[in-house]
Amino acid sequence: MARGVLQELYDRLPPGVQDMFVATAGWRSYRARFGSHFRANLRDISRTDFLDADEVRADQDRRLAETLRWAADTVPYYRELFRREGIDPAKIRSVEELPRIPFLDKETVRLRGNDLLSDGFSSRILIPGRSSGTTGTALRLVHTREALGWEYAVIWRQRGWFGFLLGDRFAGFGGQPVVPFEQQEPPFWRSDLARGRVLFSLYHMKPEFLPYYAAELRQRGYLFWQGYPSSIALVCEYLLENGIDLRTAAPGAVFTSSETLLDFHRDRIVQATRAPVADRYGNAELSVSAVQCPEGRYHVDTEFCALEIEPHEEGPDWVRGEVIATGFANRAMPLIRYRTGDVATLRKQVGCPCGRKRPVVEELDGRIEDYVVTPDGRRIGRMDHVFKDALLVKEAQILQTAANAILVRIAPRPGYGPDAQARIDREFRARLGRDIAVRYELVDAIPREANGKFRAVISSLAGGRLRAPADASD
Ligand SMILES: [Zn+2]
């Protein structure tokens, strides 16, 4: 509720004042992300970047043992679990021995969230987070400031591989609704120049506005771009369709994250920018992290997490299945053997031409996010973010069958009513405007695809000018 009201107030401010808000929010999160822990961790993991495979394992096992000890000592859920299952965490000395601990699924996190909190912290100093999950299952999460510092250390280690330093000027294409939806004139971005970043709105990327994006990107020249691949690809599609060459304003690299990096998005980005695209796989739970190196392979950040695969399929050199993650960074809410709901393919052998010996994720098979197209031609991805705060929604799915209408299927939890729906409707309107009819249908469950996959968005719209090619990876 508060967030919706604040968003409405923010939307009425002039762009210059909105810049100040973005900068203030930027400063607050900057301090949380880039404090002394960030610097210490970045120094630490810069030293471990090129360890031998044995040393990588030893380093990871040491961090795992610390995490298990901490969980056993301070987290009620694990104290109880270890007692009930007769598990002595001190006897689990390596990632290979982790399977003695049962999986932790999202429903358990939702139901037992409070028991998963470490009693080693005062709740006052913790930072709330929310995960929408890919199925729209909202989880109440908390993390420490240090955990954020940790995450940004692995992010900036990757950026360092491509020659970038903290403070370098970059263009951000994340999901923050920084520009009011009704705004019809540029700028469609907000600046936080003290932090070297300019945030572009993802919700104004329609054909008549894209020329402004292109002009801004070309005129100012950002050292790198980062954000959702589907959104960066829309800008790139526009540049390519109109023969716009970025020349010296081309970014030195494009860092993507937060959704599956699809081949057709990557191709468009590379064609338009001629820059390397480096993806990151992480999650809001701060339990997993893997980043692409300059050779294009994903290396697990073994200082940050342990990544296991629950096999669905297996070959001589690889194993594919659900990612089971154990995060080391977040002492406030340690998640051990957490079922992420993501699917990935892990190589059985380590080794990469880049020289790093950390495990290699061959492919992220994770869910394919679709777009919703507004009547005026904007293409909006990551609609699952609408349900980020909707704790009374078990699952949701969007069906778009016409340019001006979507049907939202909601599988509610007890207590779901008009208030909850009004909040969801506000989130939809902030992203899609008022010209699209949104109908709601309450259902017991959302049906799965023939291959067992859950889809957040199903769109049957015929191709438009900016329509991406049909997904070829399924
Ligand atoms: Zn590599």
3-state secondary structure the chain: CHHHHHHHHHHHCCHHHHHHHHHHHHHHHHHHHCCHHHHHHHHHHHHCCCCCHHHHHHHHHHHHHHHHHHHHHHCHHHHHHHHHHCCCHHHCCCHHHHHHCCCECHHHHHHCHHHHCCCCCCHHHCEEEEECCCCCCCEEEEECHHHHHHHHHHHHHHHHHCCCCCCCCEEEECCCCCCCCCCCCCCCEEEEHHHCEEEECCCCCCCCCHHHHHHHHHHHCCCEEEECHHHHHHHHHHHHHCCCCCHHHCCCCEEECCCCCCHHHHHHHHHHHCCCEEEEEECCCCCCEEEECCCCCEEECCCCEEEEEEEEEECCCEEEEEEEEEECCCCCCCCCCEEEEEEEEEECCCCCCCCCCCCEEEEECCCCCCCEECCCCCEECCHHHHHCCCCCEEEEEEEEEECCEEEEEEEECCCCCHHHHHHHHHHHHHHHCCCCEEEEEECCCCCCCCCCCCCCEEECCCCCCCCCCCCCCC
Specify whether 240 is located in the same domain as 381: no
CATH number of the domain that residue 336 is part of: 3.40.50.12780
Ligand 1 center to 357 CA (angstroms): 8
464 falls within a domain: no
Domain boundary among 245, 275, 305: 275
Specify whether 41 is located in the same domain as 98: yes
Which of 166-170, 361-365, 393-397 has the lowest average pLDDT? Answer: 393-397
Q: What is the pLDDT of residues 187-209, one digit of tens each?
A: 999 988 777 889 999 888 888 99
Ligand 1 center to 14 CA (angstroms): 45
449 falls within a domain: yes
Ligand 1 center to 300 CA (angstroms): 10
Given a cut of 50, whether residue 44 has pLDDT beyond it is yes
Ligand 1 center to 159 CA (angstroms): 14
Given a cut of 90, whether residue 156 has pLDDT beyond it is yes
At 220, which amino acid appears?
Answer: R
Given a cut of 50, whether residue 23 has pLDDT beyond it is yes
Residue 2 vs residues 5, 36, 169, 302, 393: alpha-carbon distances, Å: 5, 32, 32, 38, 19
pTM to 2 decimals?
A: 0.80
Q: What angle do CA 447, 107, 99 make, to 5 degrees?
A: 110
Specify whether 114 is located in the same domain as 254: no
**Given pLDDT bands bounded at 50, 70 and 90, which one contains residue 86?**
very high
Given a cut of 90, whether residue 26 has pLDDT beyond it is no
Given a cut of 50, whether residue 344 has pLDDT beyond it is yes
Q: Mean pLDDT across the stretch 394-410? A: 89
Given this model, what pLDDT does residue 34 score?
82
157 falls within a domain: no
Which residue range(s) make up the domain with 216? 2-33+163-275
Specify whether 53 is located in the same domain as 141: yes
Specify whether 169 is located in the same domain as 267: yes
Specify whether 349 is located in the same domain as 405: no
Domain boundary among 275, 294, 319: 275
Ligand 1 center to 123 CA (angstroms): 39
Number of domains making up the chain: 3
175 falls within a domain: yes
Given this model, what pLDDT does residue 466 score?
30
144 falls within a domain: yes
Given a cut of 70, whether residue 284 has pLDDT beyond it is yes
Given this model, what pLDDT does residue 469 score?
28
Q: Mean pLDDT across the stretch 170-175? A: 90
Given a cut of 50, whether residue 18 has pLDDT beyond it is yes
Specify whether 134 is located in the same domain as 148: yes
Specify whether 171 is located in the same domain as 266: yes
Domain boundary among 338, 364, 390: 364
Ligand 1 center to 278 CA (angstroms): 11
Given this model, what pLDDT does residue 336 score?
98
Ligand 1 center to 359 CA (angstroms): 9
Of 293, 306, 280, 305, the residue nearest 356 (C-alpha): 293
Ligand 1 center to 350 CA (angstroms): 10
Given a cut of 50, whether residue 38 has pLDDT beyond it is yes
Specify whether 353 is located in the same domain as 385: no
